[in-house]
Structure 1
């Protein structure tokens, strides 16, 4: 009879097995697209708990979305460790910790977590500029910049120096000093309302761990073993919180020099696509220096999701990257499939109808609508696609790029929806997915159509050499690796019928 621990190890390849059985000390797993990352991480936790080496009630697995956390929980249940292990986003884990210790450190009621910053930001802008009116776009731009300063751990008094050193331009036609005043006014607005925002959850938790010894000890005692998924996307704020969870002070040169060293990080530098929001693959790439000596350093580079044709295309997208050595070269674990398709259309409308017609033919041939996804660079490309799908009689669901961490906190209804989606029981199960590439991260589809593969869209804005261009390259790589079997790339030579056909194919196309 197979033992429970042996059953957990069944079906793992050699690299996955090495990762799953490395249970003590700092572990880094560089996991390429489709390499079984979630499978490996969940089995590692289940294996350690089944052996009795870990107490499941003191295991924390941190993800970047509610959907990913729900998937982890479902896998833990299937692996026999049920609800004892905590799988949560950074923000939901930190919020739970704050609520648990709040009454011990503060007499005031717990502040309201605001899910809409716009009014407070609007008032802050008008207080500083004496403007009578603020456009929605200005509010969005200011909000994004305030969020960036927080996750980058940049205080208002340091903002001007950072802008000067990095040639960063504040939004809303404000100079750096005036923008720092807007940040201060925004914080005052929130305080007056008894509110905190999304990033304040992490900042407050760091403050508690830094300055309240008993509360910090209580929080740390609940975390015996920490796993951080999508580690290439951690911001400086999240990295600091992670170090404080482990018992470091968040400032020392080597976070692994003291405190809890039972930490496993998992990520892929080639899938770093949120640099604009403060994320960086630096901590993943330098984990071995920060936490040396590592107990294990594992690479998972066999893609079990995509065919050799898709994997070869993905590798070619990254081939010209100046830091190519930082990225894995993937190998497909699947049988051969169709070649990657390329189509050039006259204009955007023709492209939308052409792609919708291709999907209609697939569906007519027996493919489920939910097996198909159309990926766009920006939200503005999507209405034409939706109209074309309607004309073909196809149902669709839209996933918009509305902020890279908006799904990190959720109410019960959102969690139930995420669970239904994970089980294929939501309306999405009978619908074509129309999504930005950013919003498709973590998803996979048998058939993927990436539209708008022209200079100006992919890469967006046609940037010159530098990090902006490399972020766009990684973004296309993420889009390509969503495809399991069929991948089709297309672009239109003009926006409208009869317009000047001046668009050229993306430099990333191979």
Structure 2
């Protein structure tokens, strides 16, 4: 128990509450500089050290390779190792790819597809295939690819694209109408299939498909996830949210028949940065309605990183937002900062150094 208590050292009251509420659905709203990663990794470590969780069945997912690596490093510093006998901290895609590999031979006789090497080349071929145009500029390819990615993570089928794009007031890319874009999207899928390829989002889509239609494979995947932690939950896409529910056993006619309620989501609606790609803080804000009653609903609003002046300005900006009621009001734990003035420095380099300091 000494190691467990050491893990909790240095946490404030709200951080400690988050770190010691180990079972059932937990939501942590964490403002900028509030020690979010510190709290989450301490929670995982405390649960494993006390024996409340089995490390090999604990999965923590986040959005970037860098964030996942930082989480693994912090867990190792707290005495937890990764690998087959330790906690898995990974991106959504790497976790899903591992699961896909583990069950592929049981659900499909075809060779495991390889990840597409150059998505833009495939999109270019698809545009030519659907339009007979061969001289395609890079911006058109970029915009079409972005729209394909949006459709996939938004769970928009090819046949429904025209209708949904109108309902969402979404303009098809590169001057194409909705029907022509849908034809390009379909050609893109045919190009990939003919080459035995999948793209990044197909990894998540395939795992969702397997968990929907192959009960034994789904049970195998779910058995490896006893406790799920989702970082940056304000940036979850409809596709990632669908996968999360399937990991937990969600299904049934209303999609809410979750069998495993040991899920902790962490995020901040004021820090949503992937809305352009279909992400929304809606799932974070509606978490209590979807998974309630919650074991804990915790706000971390103490900013340990920024001075009171910076926090005050941040609060002023957030207070002017249309959805300001969704945002935390931050407080600074630091002493008053020093005002940086241009006249205090002789050169731009010195001024920049002062600001950074």
Please indicate the TM-score interval, normalised by the length of the shorter structure: over 0.9
8 Å CA contact 1:28–1:297 kept in 2: the answer is yes
User: CA RMSD of the aligned region, Å?
Assistant: 1.9
- Structure-2 residue corresponding to 1:262: 262
Superposition deviation, residue 314 in structure 1? 1.1
Aligned partner of residue 150 in structure 2, secondary structure: helix
- Structure-1 residue corresponding to 2:67: 68
Tell me the matched-pair count: 353
8 Å CA contact 1:309–1:339 kept in 2: the answer is no
- Structure-2 residue corresponding to 1:39: 38
- Residue 282 in 1 paired to residue 272 in 2? no
Aligned partner of residue 178 in structure 1, secondary structure: helix
Superposition deviation, residue 358 in structure 1? 2.9
Distance 2:346 2:207 in 1: 47
Distance 2:267 2:189 in 1: 34
Superposition deviation, residue 336 in structure 1? 1.2
Distance 1:198 1:362 in 2: 39
Q: What is the correspondence of 1:490-501 to structure 2 with a 5 Å cutoff?
A: none
Deviation per residue, 1:423-450 (Å, 9 max, x gap) = xxxxxxxxxxxxxxxxxxxxxxx72xxx
- Structure-1 residue corresponding to 2:348: 358
8 Å CA contact 1:153–1:236 kept in 2: the answer is yes
Aligned partner of residue 298 in structure 2, secondary structure: strand
Question: Larger relative contact order (C-alpha < 8 A, sep ≥ 6)?
Answer: 2
8 Å CA contact 2:342–2:351 kept in 1: the answer is no
Q: What is the correspondence of 1:422-437 to structure 2 with a 5 Å cutoff?
A: none
Query: Cα gap change, 1:307/1:152 in structure 2, threshold over 3 Å: closer, same or farther?
Result: same
Which of the pair is proportionally richer in strand? 1
- Structure-2 residue corresponding to 1:226: 228
Deviation per residue, 1:217-237 (Å, 9 max, x gap) = 111000000000000000000
Deviation per residue, 1:245-297 (Å, 9 max, x gap) = 000128625x3x43100000000000012111010000000000000111100
8 Å CA contact 2:245–2:258 kept in 1: the answer is no
Distance 1:140 1:157 in 2: 22
Q: What is the correspondence of 1:299-338 to structure 2 with a 5 Å cutoff?
A: 299-338=299-338
Query: Cα gap change, 1:65/1:356 in structure 2, threshold over 3 Å: closer, same or farther?
Result: farther
8 Å CA contact 1:240–1:250 kept in 2: the answer is no
Distance 1:34 1:186 in 2: 42
Distance 2:176 2:164 in 1: 15
Superposition deviation, residue 340 in structure 1? 6.8
Deviation per residue, 1:404-437 (Å, 9 max, x gap) = xxxxxxxxxxxxxxxxxxxxxxxxxxxxxxxxxx
Listed as ranges, the gaps of 5+ residues in structure 1 are 344-354, 368-445, 448-485, 487-510
Distance 1:203 1:362 in 2: 46
Distance 2:346 2:125 in 1: 44
- Residue 271 in 1 paired to residue 261 in 2? no
Distance 1:278 1:362 in 2: 36
TM-score by length of 1: 0.67
8 Å CA contact 1:241–1:250 kept in 2: the answer is no
Query: Cα gap change, 1:146/1:251 in structure 2, threshold over 3 Å: closer, same or farther?
Result: farther
Superposition deviation, residue 139 in structure 1? 0.2
- Structure-1 residue corresponding to 2:295: 295
8 Å CA contact 1:310–1:340 kept in 2: the answer is no
8 Å CA contact 2:251–2:258 kept in 1: the answer is no
Distance 1:58 1:356 in 2: 57
Superposition deviation, residue 357 in structure 1? 4.4
Query: Cα gap change, 1:155/1:31 in structure 2, threshold over 3 Å: closer, same or farther?
Result: same
- Structure-2 residue corresponding to 1:246: 248
Distance 2:17 2:314 in 1: 26
Superposition deviation, residue 79 in structure 1? 0.7
Distance 1:326 1:129 in 2: 45
Deviation per residue, 1:284-337 (Å, 9 max, x gap) = 000000001111000000000111111111111212111101001110111111
Distance 1:90 1:250 in 2: 23
Distance 1:315 1:12 in 2: 24
8 Å CA contact 1:309–1:338 kept in 2: the answer is no
Superposition deviation, residue 14 in structure 1? 0.6
- Residue 56 in 1 paired to residue 58 in 2? no
Tell me which of 177, 180, 205 is aligned to 1:175: 177
8 Å CA contact 1:61–1:228 kept in 2: the answer is yes
